[in-house]
Each structure stands twice: as structure tokens, then as C-alpha cells.
Structure 1
Amino acid sequence: MLLSMTGYGRATRTDGGKTYTAELRALNSKQSDLRLRTNLNLQAHELELRKSVLAATKRGKVEMSVDIDDEAGSGKVKVDLPLLAAISHEVYFRLNTYGSRPLPEHTMDGLVPALLRTPGIIETGAGQLAANDWENIQATVEDALQRLLAYRQQEGQVLSEDLSGSVRSILELLARVDDYSEQRIDAVRERMERHLAEYLGRANVDKNRYEQEVLFYLEKMDINEEKVRLAQNCDYFLEILENEDDVKGRKLTFISQELGREINTLGAKSYSADLQRLVVNMKEHLEMIKEQLANVA
């Protein structure tokens, strides 16, 4: 099973005249991160909420919003009138006492909007959690998480099919390498033998030493090890892709880096235009793999 890092989940729940809403949006990220947006007082439960969401999403950046819509109106704004009156009286007294002249009776009317911004004057119950609010929030977030995970699994299935197809395409191209390997060696051997024949007439040429150099050069052109390692890494990639692990993006990324090394070495040793074309096609599929892995959890 493969999980995509991107996804979306939203859930609502109604209980006692209140509607609880949780919305989750997951995005690509190398690290796990959660951004919580809410006007609720969740300080006592925020750590627990973060741990449960990050444990479920496993990897990626998650944006979550939690809200409560109170149809009963318990979240209406309340003004502390006694406190407002006391502050107004104190302000008026000091301004009238220390001012250069007595203040008109309606002076405080213009100061009321400013006084209303004083901490504690205006209270709202919207951010305060009632006895059963936390249980409902937990249940709503869990429902949203299930929808998010279902979305990620659905996208992950598509990603898995694309990745598998690209790796199998590399294996198919690798199987065609042998069609040009012998041709490549024969062409190089003939060119060297022609050069060797030209040098045979020179008295200062050591034939045995020259033949040793030819053998050494042909050994450097050998690509059997690269073909074996590339095939093994492709098989390993498919094995990891099909196992039951939820989080496998990092491991698949490491394997894709090994694929790149072997393909690059094949290209460096190709000495053949036909073989080079195969290598270019392999690199094309490898780039597609890397692009897809950027979205795998």
C-alpha cells in the first residue's frame, strides 16, 4: 500500500445544538508538521490533538481547522458593564481633576469605543469548551482523519501504478542493452586491432604490452556489473512498492538514487550511439520516478 502526501478530509458532527467541524488538508513536505487554526481554547488538549493527527498522517505538512457552531447562542458576546462603568468613572475623574478645565458631561461618549478594547471588558463564550465539547472534537477530528487517509490511499494507488510502470520500462530497456553490447565491443576491438597493425611496423612498439593495454581497456568497458546491479535495484524498488508498509517514500527515494548511479555509469561506458539512446530513455523514466516520489509519504 502506498500513501500520497496530499489529501483532504472534512467531517461534521451535531450534538446538543452545537455543530462540530474539523477540516484537514495535507501537503508535500519532507518533515512532519501540523498547523492548527481555531478560535477555541484548546491549550489543555492541543498537545494530545497534535500527537494523534501527526501519528495518523505520518509524513507531510498538515493544515487543520477546528470549529464549533453553537446554535443555542451560548457563544454570544457579553459586556462586563460594572467593569466598564468603573473604568469610565476613573478615567473621567482623572481627566477632570488633572485637566486644564472641567470636562463636558458627554466627554466619555467618545472614549467608550476605546475603553471597550480594554482586556476583560468584552467576553465571549465561543472559545470556551463545555463538558462534552472535547469528546465531540476528538470524534470529529477522527472522522476527518479517516476521510483524509482514504483520499491519500486512493491517490497512492495511482502513484503506485505510475511508479511500477516506470520501473518496468527501465527493466525493458535494460533487456535491450545486450543487443548492442557485443556490437559495441566488436567495433572497439576492430578499431584497436587496426591501430595495432599500424604500429606493428614500428620497432619501438612492445606488442605484448600493447595487447595488455587493449585487454585493460576492454575490461573498463565491461558493463555486466552495472546491468546486474540496475536489475537488482529495480526488483528491490518493486518489492518495497508492493509491501504493506504505509510510509516508504524515503526508502524508495534512496533506491531511485542507486538507479541513477547505475544508469549514469552505463551511459559513461556506452561507447555506442544506440546504447546511449537506451540510457537517455532510462533517464527519462527515472526523472518521472523522482517527480512522483516527491508526493509519496
Structure 2
Amino acid sequence: MIQSMTGFGKSVFSLPDKHISIEIKSLNSKSIDISTRIPLVYREKELEYRKLIGEQLLRGKVDFNIFVENIGTQTPSTINQNIVKSYIEQMRSIVDGEPVELLKMAVRMPDALQNSSESISEEEFGTIMTNIQLAIADLQAFRTQEGKVLEKDFVLRIGNIEQLLKEVEALDSERLLLIRERLEKAVTDIKNVDANRFEQELIFYLEKLDITEEKIRLKKHLDYFLETLRSNDSNGRKLSFIAQEIGREVNTLGSKANFAQIQQLVVQMKDELEKIKEQVLNVL
């Protein structure tokens, strides 16, 4: 069963002094590409977070966020009083101002606030990792659900191409008969025609226009796409390669057919195939 690369997972939990929300979002990408938004105190373990996410999600453009709401008495930042006082004195030497207004300006200046150097405990780190795993599981469930939608669409599109192929097969004998009649009519007015030579040339020409092999290969590729779609090792790259092979046979079919009604069916096949190729980009 296929999975989509699009997904969203979330885990929310509480510690004695804070509420923490972990969110992971993924979109399609050729490889794993992880962007993080993590509070400073948790960044020392960022490599471990990335390793876990990369091993589990495999591919996709992933946004990983940790949001923290402090509910205890401790604050994550403290005022660097000496620096703030220095800023206020420097501003007073330039312009007169109300102390409160100067203070508001000073605390916005660089290094006015310093983050706590507190390190994450092993217990808290374990809790974080457990909840990252829960968020990943939530995201993978989302991916699986989206994969079912994609699979349903692929089956529909492949079925449409198969039906169009049957219509091509129904028209093929008529096409060859019309080509033969047209060629025979074209040489009717030509004198001294060698009947045997003409027959040989006609057979050679019809063989060049024969699309039997293309029809057989196209049907095999369509069956292989559905077989791969339902296999345990199904993945977007493999389905993309098969879609390319389907496209080659469809293009050859259209160029060799030399018959307007079949070429119209080929255009419809190409339209269905383009929709498949667009959706394959979203498959894990």
C-alpha cells in the first residue's frame, strides 16, 4: 500500500512547569529535507531529533516544531541589568526621555535579555523523544489515509487508459483495411505495376504501421503499474519509472497509428497519464 508524502502529526503533553506541543508537517520532496523550529534549551539534542525523523519518514520536506508554554514561576530569560542600565545612560546622553520609555527601548537592544543556560534533563529528553515518536505515528497515519485516496485515483486513471486501449484495438483492423484500400487506389492509375512487387511493398508498409507490439507492451505496463501499486515495496520512484514507460508506448502508438480516430484516443490517454504523473510526485 502506498503512502502520500503529505502529512501532519501532533503531540501535546505537560511537564510540571510547562506545556509542550510538538508538530511535524511534511510535503513532497525528492529526498528528506528537515527544517526545525526549536527553543534554545532543546537545541543541544537537535541531531537526535533529526535522526529519528529522517529514519522514520524517509522522504519529504519536513517542518519540525517544538512550542513551549511556561506555566511555572521560572522564566526562560532574565534581564541583563548592567547592559540595560548602560543602554539607558547612553540614550540619556543623546536625548531626554521618560525613564519608562527609555527602559522599553533598552530591553529591545542586543543582549538585553539572556536566555537561561539550563540544560535539558535525561528524563525530559526521553519524554520529548517519546512524543516526537507519537507525532510521527500521527503523521504516518495521515500519510496512509492520503495514500488510499491517491491509490483510488491511480486505479481510476489506469482503468481509463485500459478502456481507451480497448477502443484502439477495436479500430485497428479498420485502420489497416483503410490504409490498404487507400494505397491500392493510389496506384490504380499507374501503368506497368508489378503486382508481386506492389504486394511486397504493401506488406512492408503495413508492418511499419503495425501497432500490435505497442498495444501488448502498453497493456503489460498498465498491469505492472497496478501490481506495483498494491505491493508491499511500492514507492513513488518506481511508479514514476513505470509511468514513463507507459508514456513511451502511448507516444509510439500515436505516431505509428496514422489514423485520426486512434490519435484522438491517444490524446485522451496522454491526458490521463499526465494526471497520474502529477500525483506520483506525492507518493512516498
C-alpha displacement of 1:69? 2.1
1:290 corresponds to 2:277: yes
C-alpha displacement of 1:13? 1.1
C-alpha displacement of 1:67? 2.3
Taking the aligned partners of 2:180 and 2:283, their CA distance within structure 1 comes to 47
Identity of aligned residues (%): 38
Taking the aligned partners of 1:13 and 1:136, their CA distance within structure 2 comes to 9
Q: 2:15: which partner in 1? A: 15
Aligned 1:79-118 pairs, distance under 5 A:
79-81=79-81, 83-84=82-83, 88=86, 114=106, 117=109
Equivalent residue of 1:45, what SS? Answer: helix
The amino acid that maps onto 1:283 is: K
State which of 178, 195, 217 in structure 1 corresponds to 2:205: 217
* Gap regions ≥5 residues in structure 2: none
Give yes or no for contact 1:2–1:296 (8 Å, CA) kept in 2: yes
Taking the aligned partners of 1:68 and 1:16, their CA distance within structure 2 comes to 12
Equivalent residue of 2:39, what SS? Answer: coil
Give yes or no for contact 2:12–2:22 (8 Å, CA) kept in 1: yes
Q: 1:47: which partner in 2? A: 47
State which of 196, 220, 231 in structure 1 corresponds to 2:219: 231
Taking the aligned partners of 1:223 and 1:116, their CA distance within structure 2 comes to 75
**1:162-190 alpha-carbon deviations (Å, 9 max, x no partner):** 10111122112212222111111111111
Q: 1:268: which partner in 2? A: 255
Taking the aligned partners of 2:64 and 2:208, their CA distance within structure 1 comes to 56
Residues 1:131 and 1:185: Cα distance change in structure 2 (over 3 Å): closer
Greater Rg by CA = 1
Taking the aligned partners of 1:125 and 1:67, their CA distance within structure 2 comes to 17
Aligned 1:140-155 pairs, distance under 5 A:
140-155=131-146
Alignment coverage as a number of residue pairs: 278
Residues 1:126 and 1:44: Cα distance change in structure 2 (over 3 Å): closer
C-alpha displacement of 1:111? 7.9
Taking the aligned partners of 2:21 and 2:117, their CA distance within structure 1 comes to 14
* Gap regions ≥5 residues in structure 1: 96-102
**1:30-82 alpha-carbon deviations (Å, 9 max, x no partner):** 2320110122333431112112112222111011111222211322432344x
Equivalent residue of 2:237, what SS? Answer: helix
Q: 2:28: which partner in 1? A: 28
Q: 2:165: which partner in 1? A: 174
Deviates more, 1:30-39 or 1:223-232: 30-39
Equivalent residue of 2:75, what SS? Answer: coil
C-alpha displacement of 1:11? 1.0
Equivalent residue of 2:42, what SS? Answer: coil
**1:97-155 alpha-carbon deviations (Å, 9 max, x no partner):** xxxxxx8xx99x79875588454x53233975344321121122111111111111101
TM-score by length of 2: 0.86
Taking the aligned partners of 1:18 and 1:242, their CA distance within structure 2 comes to 45
Aligned 1:39-78 pairs, distance under 5 A:
39-78=39-78
Taking the aligned partners of 1:206 and 1:57, their CA distance within structure 2 comes to 70
Q: 1:139: which partner in 2? A: 130
Taking the aligned partners of 1:212 and 1:118, their CA distance within structure 2 comes to 90
C-alpha displacement of 1:290? 1.4
The amino acid that maps onto 1:280 is: V
Aligned CA RMSD, in angstroms, stands at 2.8
TM-score by length of 1: 0.83
Equivalent residue of 2:189, what SS? Answer: helix
